[in-house]
Amino acid sequence: MRNTLENLRRKITGAQQLESVVRTMKAQAASNITQYEAATNALSDYYGTVELGLTACFRQSAPVAASKSAQPGTMSAIVFGSDQGLVGQFNDQLAEYAHVQLAALPGTKTIWAVGERVCGRLVDAGFTVKKIFDVPGAITSITPLIGHILTECIVSHSQTMLIFHNQPKSGTSYEPVSQPLLPLGVALQQGLAKAAWPTVNLPELMGDTHASLLHALIREYLFISLYKACAESLASENASRLAAMQRAEKNIDDLLKDLNQTSRTLRQSSIDEELFDVLAGYIVTAAKKKIA
């Protein structure tokens, strides 16, 4: 009986230590969600400025069609996943969604993966991943990552480039989404050209700066789109991890309740046996004295 109680105490101690780790990870995930959501929201003002610049450019020029220099039938996709585990179906759902979407499109696909785990899922789905990028571990690491992506991916010769990532929803839920990155569609350009200007003084570009300005603004538009996708992916990853830690915490609580209940039952049984032994000894002693 004593050995069984000791084993239970060790199990209870181990479960309590694990619960402490889970609570720490849960708090860290919740904190990360807040930071990445704040980073995403902070992009809105900057995006508004870039959008106004594109509006000014497109108001003075006809929409630019997709480049014909690209290899026909080629397509690129950037998939933002995770490097770490404990994220539930985060990578599986995203890889399945990307597989379904890309399988429905014609042409040769080139995949860039952000995260080793989602890369493995994409390879299992039959895709060839050209390059793997490390997932940023902090907000300050997002900008260098986007710079590398812009340098290595945007210079490719594909006509079409898509982004796949998980987007946060309410609570700890998320959903996989996709977004066309290149080329800038004629409809988008026309929509920006017709957008209302916030003041009565309409913009006007002077000199020969139109082409260089448009190029710079498009690059900023690409940067914002990729940064937003990465930040939303990281927020979704931490939301998935938070949900996993909440489930783990509940399971540990249930386990501790069972272990404590079993321990109390065994302890009470041990006490009862000792009381019975004492009572039996008393009865025997009293009987001997009575006979004597």
Residue 35 is given by DSSP the state: H
Residue 5 lies in a domain: no
pLDDT, tens digit only, all 292 positions of the chain: 455 778 888 899 999 999 999 999 999 999 999 999 999 888 888 888 888 888 888 887 755 554 444 455 678 899 999 998 888 899 999 999 999 999 888 888 889 999 999 999 999 988 989 999 999 989 999 999 999 998 886 666 556 889 999 999 887 789 999 998 887 766 777 787 888 888 888 777 776 667 788 888 888 999 999 999 999 999 999 999 999 999 999 999 999 999 998 888 888 887 777 777 777 777 777 777 777 6
Instruction: Summarize the chain as % helix, strand, coil (round to 5).
Output: 65, 15, 20
Residue 14 lies in a domain: no
Residue 183 lies in a domain: yes
Residue 58 lies in a domain: yes
Chain centroid offset of residue 137 CA:
12
Residue 40 lies in a domain: yes
Give the total number of structural domains in the chain.
1
Q: Which domain holds residue 194?
A: 31-244
Residue 161 lies in a domain: yes
Sort residue 133 into left (φ over 0), alpha (ψ -120 to 50) or beta: beta
Residue 9 lies in a domain: no
Query: Which residues share a beta bridge with 167?
Result: 175
Residue 24 lies in a domain: no
d(CA 39, CA 152): 24
Report the CATH number that the domain containing residue 149 is assigned in CATH. Answer: 3.40.1380.10
DSSP result, 80-147: E--SSS--TTHHHHHHHHHHHHHHTS-SEEEEEEESHHHHHHHHHTTPPEEEEEPPPSSGGGHHHHHH
pTM, two decimals, is 0.81
Residue pair 88/55 in contact (Cβ under 8 Å)? The answer is no
3-class DSSP state for residue 221?
Answer: helix
